[in-house]
Amino acid sequence: MSGDVRKKQNKRWLEELLAGDHEAFARFVDKYKEMVFLCCRTMGIRDYEIEDVASETFMAAYKGIRRYRGQAELSTWLWTITYRKGIDYLRKSGRENQLFVEQDEKLAERRNVQVSAELENKEQADIVWEAVGRLPKLWAMATVLFYREEKKVKEIAKIMRVSQNTVKTYLFRSRKRLQELLADVV
């Protein structure tokens, strides 16, 4: 599908969303639910809590779609909502500090034992993304947005409500820590 055709379809879809078309919104949810779940998982929200945050996210998107002006991609706009709903959820549950803590502090002790088993059972990409999940959540979020979702630093800064330099710092620290975590694996 050419870029012009896709843009026309997206414009028509957005018009349907703005008009309150429930079927268009159902397609919107279906298209972006995995992205919302990924954002929640990256933030460390537990599996049984993700649906609550996703519901709040899509409800906020439904209510706020009229304020969407197309200045950013629709996916970037939704990442922003998801990220903010996730932060709110973690604050309410008293777990906001988990955004700054590395998830597996004993990883170095277990790494050598697990390396051979992991290489036999998983692809390298799976191992890398698993290691990303062990990073402090803010670093992991920036890494997922940059490498998996292919967002620009400027978009990530807008989503996370931090400066572009902060995003670059998160990415730098993330790469450095991943090199340490994956030294024996990759």
Mean pLDDT of 19-37: 89
Mean pLDDT of 50-63: 91
Cβ–Cβ < 8 Å for 132, 143: yes
CA distance 54 to 89: 11
Confidence of residue 170 (pLDDT cuts 50, 70, 90): very high
All domains of the chain, ordered by start, with CATH? Answer: 3-97 (1.10.1740.10), 100-181 (1.10.10.10)
The answer to whether residue 167 scores a pLDDT higher than 90 is: yes
The answer to whether residue 169 scores a pLDDT higher than 90 is: yes
Confidence of residue 1 (pLDDT cuts 50, 70, 90): low
Q: Which helix (H) or strand (E) holds 10?
A: helix 3-18
Q: What pLDDT shows up at residue 111?
A: 46
Mean pLDDT of 157-178: 91
Q: Which two tokens stand for residue 57?
A: 């996210």
In whole angstroms, what separates CA 177 from the centre of its chain?
19
**Helices marked H in 43-147:** 47-64, 74-92, 107-121, 124-132, 137-143
The answer to whether residue 172 scores a pLDDT higher than 90 is: yes
Cβ–Cβ < 8 Å for 169, 178: no
Better-predicted residue by pLDDT, 83 or 123: 83
Better-predicted residue by pLDDT, 25 or 125: 25
Question: How deeply is 13 buried, as exposed, middle or buried, from its count of CB atoms within 10 A (0-12, 13-18, 19+)?
Answer: middle
The SS3 call for residue 72 is coil
Q: What pLDDT shows up at residue 164?
A: 94
Better-predicted residue by pLDDT, 98 or 59: 59
pLDDT tens-digit profile of 90-103?
888 887 666 665 55
pLDDT tens-digit profile of 122-132?
466 777 777 88
For the chain, give the mean pLDDT: 80
Q: What pLDDT shows up at residue 57?
A: 93
The answer to whether residue 113 scores a pLDDT higher than 50 is: no
CA distance 84 to 159: 8
Q: What pLDDT shows up at residue 105?
A: 47
